[in-house]
Amino acid sequence: MQPATNLKQKKLNIALVGYGKMGKAIEEIAVQRGHTIVLKIDINTMDQFTKENLRQCDVAIEFTSPHSAVENIITCLHAGVPVVSGSTGWLQRWSEVKEVCDQQHGALLYASNYSVGVNIFFEVNKRLAQLMNPHTEYEVTMTEIHHTEKKDAPSGTAITLAEQILENIGRKKEWVNEQTIAPAELAIISKRIDPAPGTHIVKYSSAVDDIEIIHTAHNRKGFATGAVLAAEFLQDKKGIFSMKDVLGF
């Protein structure tokens, strides 16, 4: 599959559902790439979040919070507008959102993290876990560090990394968001420290050495750029997609 970065894109009319720090970062990248932001929805402009206004848009990019994401996504799908969602902490309702997308013949692209670098990191994490699986002398742990405004813990990115490890390390059966000595549990330690945009560490430790892989975001630009690439990719498509589709992995 050809990556979105190599595709000739039409100029999009974009709805930003969520206009906080991430929404503003997405706006900056989208405008640089020649797109137009025609709708900006936040807590003060919810009266503008209507089907009529959404239908003026080619795509919606949704970055809100766990308690509002599902309703926001469903509103966009009912309006017939493709949705790029980066909100985390709501995947317990994934089947509900998928059903609406299917019923509406809509398009949805969800990722726990839109950074190109993080999505490469995901692939490295999977491969490392496969290589480490036979080596039971190594204990694997995870740490994730975010700013204090981050509402969910562990982060969606950390959960994605943990699930990849569980799929590939046979002795690990579940992740827990605390220190643990249980052999079948994978510990994720969450720290909230300003102004950290996001750091994720996967560490394999043995009596003789340690192996670590680390991704550290310096700012929100990488996340914002990936979200705009995803919006460009989603044009004229139906179905459910991920950043693997966007990047051609």
The residues carrying an active-site annotation are 146, 150
Most distant pair of Cα atoms in the chain: their distance: 63
Distance from chain centroid for Cα 178: 22
Q: Are 220 and 25 in contact (CB under 8 A)?
A: yes
The C-alpha atoms of residue 68 and residue 101 are separated, in whole angstroms, by 17
CB neighbours of residue 184 within 10 Å:
10
Residue 141: phi and psi, rounded to 5, are -140, 165
Where are the extended beta strands (E) located within 13-163? 13-17, 36-41, 59-62, 83-85, 107-110, 139-146
Look at residue 30 and give its three-state secondary structure. Answer: helix
The C-alpha atoms of residue 36 and residue 131 are separated, in whole angstroms, by 45
- Cα–Cα separations (whole angstroms), residue 32 to 19, 26, 102: 17, 10, 33
